[in-house]
Amino acid sequence: MGRFYEGGKRLHALDTLRGIAALSIVFWHWQHFFAISGNWQDGWSRAQEPFYPVFKPLYEQGWAAVDLFFPLSGFIFFWLYGEAIRERRIGAASFAWLRFSRLYPLHLLTLLIVAALQFFFWRATENFFIYDANDVAHFASSLLMAQQWLPPTIDQSFNGPAWSVSVEVLLYIGFFALSRLGLRGFWPAFAVSVLGILLYKWNWFISRGVMGFFAGGAIYALDRAIMARGDAKRIARWICAAAIVLWIVTLIEAYFGPLHDACYWLSGHISPEMGKLYIGYSRDLFLLLFVFFVSPITILALALGEQVLGASWERLSFLGDISYSTYLLHFPLQLALALLAMHFALTPAFFENWVALVVFYAVLIGLGLLSFRFFERPLQRMLRRTRS
């Protein structure tokens, strides 16, 4: 997530996209406020959420914003570390310490905060808030940032959204090993990405990480190849146009669902069994299309737009700086508000008001800025100095 790029390397457009993705997750998780009593409110509907007609795609499909994180990380890691790892200019210990110093302090802090708040929520309701796997084993694996893969599980625990951070840690291990073995170029990275599909029914969290991260690595290789061409500007314009078209199609589909309806009609006319199969796997199909088309082409368009066409995203890149903090802090903030809601006898209707959403975002972004400036960055620098 938001990070310092060693050696001054940075693409502000990708930082901005990461920040927007992190903030988009809040819309998907706004539904949590329908469970502030410890149980989900009967008859709740996403259509009751604030600004629903405007932000319907985020309320309905906002979970897919996480699938922008993984290819963004893949692009950046193949860029910053791939060659250095292959040439043994950076060792496993140094690489691990760079990642530990960036990710672990805030992960640990939010884990402890959520553990404490969940204790008070359980005392008040005899239920946990949203994520139920809050036992000693999950806490221990969370301390290692391995809660989603040691052992492999799809249960989210404590600070539930941190599942993606846990998967990223696993991806770092695989990335380092494959890079040391010489992995480079578009086709090898793309092949690993496609192999990630095979993991989908076993653990869809890890599968999404593998697919996205190595798709990002493949896109980085494609970016380098395009940058070396004499007609890079022309290609960049076409890719930017393709990304815009893809997002227009995505938004039309999210609002009105014409492709979904057409596929359902077609599969149903083939056979009733085919219609049932399509409905059962339509979400998986959406995810695959998003991971292998929308996300990578968006990232490539933004990267080339900044490098080749001169598009400037610097003023918004602070969103990337605070993306890690806003992502990890939004659930603890929701949990704290759920406890306050119980104390003041507030109902879910309170959070259906647009003012609640705006204030939540203002507080979250403010906390993110404070965390980045006064907690994450100082600790990162301090920890890295211990190895310099």
The domains of the chain are located at: 6-385
Query: What is the pLDDT at residue 10?
Result: 84
Mean pLDDT over 313-318 rounds to 92
Q: Contact, 71 vs 216, CB < 8 A? A: yes
- pLDDT over 60 at 8, yes or no: no
Query: What is the pLDDT at residue 59?
Result: 97
SS3 70: helix
Confidence (pTM): 0.95
Letter for the amino acid at 103?
L
Instruction: Please write the tens of the pLDDT for every residue from 343-378.
Output: 999 999 999 999 999 999 999 999 999 999 999 999
Task: Give 132-140 contacts, CB < 8 A, sequence gap 24+.
Answer: 132/157, 133/157, 134/158, 139/111, 139/115
- pLDDT over 60 at 298, yes or no: yes
Query: What is the pLDDT at residue 139?
Result: 97
Q: Which residues of 80-89 are buried (b: 16+ CB within 10 A; e: fewer)?
A: bbbebbbeee
Between CA 101 and CA 96 the distance in angstroms is 9
Mean pLDDT over 211-225 rounds to 98
> φ, ψ for residue 152 (rounded to 5)?
-60, 135
Q: Which of 91, 295, 77, 99 has the alpha carbon at shortest distance from 183?
A: 77
- pLDDT over 70 at 39, yes or no: yes
Query: What is the pLDDT at residue 6?
Result: 40
Q: Which residue has the higher pLDDT, 386 or 105?
A: 105
Percent of the chain past pLDDT 90, that is, above it, reads 90
Mean pLDDT over 35-48 rounds to 93
> φ, ψ for residue 88 (rounded to 5)?
60, 30
Query: What is the pLDDT at residue 4?
Result: 36
